[in-house]
Structures are given as structure tokens and as C-alpha cells.
Structure 1
Amino acid sequence: MAVARDIMTAQVVSVKTDDSVDAVAEVLLRVGHHSVPVVDGAGRVQGMISQEDLIDATRKVHLPTVITILDSFIPLGGYKEFADDLRKSTATTAQQLASVNLVYAEADEDVDSVAEKLSQSHVHALPVVDHDKRLLGIITRSDVLRALLGKTKP
């Protein structure tokens, strides 16, 4: 059975934690990927930035609707969503914009497990990392589909 190392792309386009949000947008436009890993100086994955994150960063932030009962504010919408929108709209660096609740693939993980992670996490790509979370490669949905159908990379 194939494992992540067999189907990953080892030549990964990534951005550094201190790259500007504009620079990240330029990279995504230039390479045509849906997302890009954010790495620190040692090559450890610190997050992922997707096209959706960049689009969200340009949207207007709407305050959550609240009701007041006995001098307490009770949100009718989620503060988490508001906080996330606010974080994205004020981000100036890749690290500030990046989604940090990541799902990773390990190099020796079987393709079925990788497919399950991609499906459950609703992302387009998973970084493949070593035990220190250093970036080894990336696996996209297309990579997994090719592997499951027994096709090779073009």
C-alpha cells in the first residue's frame, strides 16, 4: 500500500512566518495553489494560509449581535467567529493570518488515512511533516485521488 511519502510533492512552495500578507497573496496567485504552508526559520510548519483566508482578510468585520440582561452582554452570534474575522482583517504577516489548528500527514502514513484526514478537515492540502513538524512535502486532494485510482503524477 502507498504511503504519504510516495504521493507527496517534495518541492513545496511555502512562505515564511514574517512574510507580508500581500506577499503571500502574490505567491498564491503566481503558483495557482489553493493554500500554502507557513514555515519558521527552521522549516517547521507554523500554519497554513488558503485563498479563503486571504479573501476573509479583506471582508468587513461585523460586530456580533448581543442582548443585554442585568448589565451582562450575551452574544447571539459567536465571539469565536468574530475574533477569527478580526484576527484575519488585522493581520499583516503570514503568521498572524495563518490557520494554526492544522491537520498533518506523516511520511509513513498510509494513503487511506491521508484521504480520511483530507475529507474530515475540509482542506485542499495537508503538509507532510517529520517528528519535529519540519515540512517534508505536501499532499493535495488530486494526489490522493491519483493514488486511489492507481494513476501516476503527470
Structure 2
Amino acid sequence: MHSLKVVDYMNRHPVSFSPEMSIEAAVSVLLQSNQRGGPVVDAQHKLVGFLSEQDCLATMLRDTYHNEQSATVGDCMYRGDVVTVDADSSITDLAQQMTANKPKMYPVVDTERQLIGVITRTDVLRAIDLHLRDGYSRR
């Protein structure tokens, strides 16, 4: 199963955000895409953070309480060390990593940290399921 690669199962066209985008616009994009969050990239398409539904909810709740609407993605995104994965990584290695870490979605980046896609727990589960089903049908 180590031949299963992230590149074969990742979403190559994920929803992503810019730090300057308003939080209201970001929420609208999230709701339309059914994505639970997404990478935040700069003008060069380099990963600079991650925006989750939880980040949006906290910000919108605070803004509602204070009757404001001025937050940007950059104001509320996670700026720490975003857990990423390489396109050539093994699905099984990533699955093991996902059982120990909380992120449900991992940005897939190249060596310059440019975003090339995302992969979710669902994508990894689907890859393993397809591999196992293929193995069962060969018996």
C-alpha cells in the first residue's frame, strides 16, 4: 500500500483564501464549497496560514456581539506551523499521521511551500478503501 501517493487522491483545486479577504466573503465561499476550512495563501500562492470553520465562527460571533463587520481572513486565521504534506508522500504514512494529529485537512505543498492541493481524511479513507476493495476482488 506504500505505492499509494497523496498526489493521486488530493484535491488539486481546493478553496483557498487570501489574508485580505473579508471573513464574510470567506464564510460564503466555505458554505458554497462544503469544505470545512482551507489554506490561506499570499499573492505568490505560498501557504501563510489556515482558516477553519471554528476560526470563522469565533470571529463572526465576536463581531455580532460587538455589532462589527471588519475582520479579514488574516485577522483570524491560524498563523502557526500549519501541518502540510508533500504530493509524493505515502497515503499509509499520512493515514498514520492523521490518527495521531487533529487536522482533518492537510495542505499539499511543494518545496517552496506553494499550495498545490489539499487532502482530507475522507480522501485518505477513500484511497485505502479502494485499495482494499481492489485487493479483495483479485482473490
State the TM-score, normalized to the length of structure 2.
Answer: 0.80
- Correspondence for 2:42: 40
SS of 1:106's partner is coil
SS of 2:130's partner is coil
1:34-60 C-alpha deviation (Å, 9 max, x unpaired): 111111000011111111111122345
Runs of 4+ that moved beyond 3 A: none
- Structure 1 unaligned segments of length 5 or more: list them: 61-89
Q: 5 Å matches for 1:1-154?
A: 1-59=3-61, 92-101=71-80, 102-150=82-130
Please report how far the alpha carbon of residue 92 of structure 1 lies from its aligned counterpart in structure 2 after TM superposition: 1.6
- Structure 2 unaligned segments of length 5 or more: list them: 63-68, 132-139
1:9-68 C-alpha deviation (Å, 9 max, x unpaired): 1112111121111111111111111111111000011111111111122345xxxxxxxx
Query: Percent identity among equivalent residues?
Result: 29
> What is the rounded CA distance, in whole Å, between the counterparts of 1:93 and 1:121 in structure 2?
27
What amino acid is aligned across from residue 123 of structure 1 in structure 2? P
1:81-114 C-alpha deviation (Å, 9 max, x unpaired): xxxxxxxxx9722122111231001111111222
1:68-89 C-alpha deviation (Å, 9 max, x unpaired): xxxxxxxxxxxxxxxxxxxxxx
SS of 2:20's partner is coil
Q: Compare CA radii of gyration and give the structure with the larger one.
A: 1
State the TM-score, normalized to the length of structure 1.
Answer: 0.73
> What is the rounded CA distance, in whole Å, between the counterparts of 1:25 and 1:147 in structure 2?
29
RMSD, aligned CA? 2.0
CA shift in 2, pair 1:94/1:143, >3 Å: same
Kindly indicate which of the two structures has a greater share of residues assigned to strand.
1
CA shift in 2, pair 1:56/1:119, >3 Å: farther
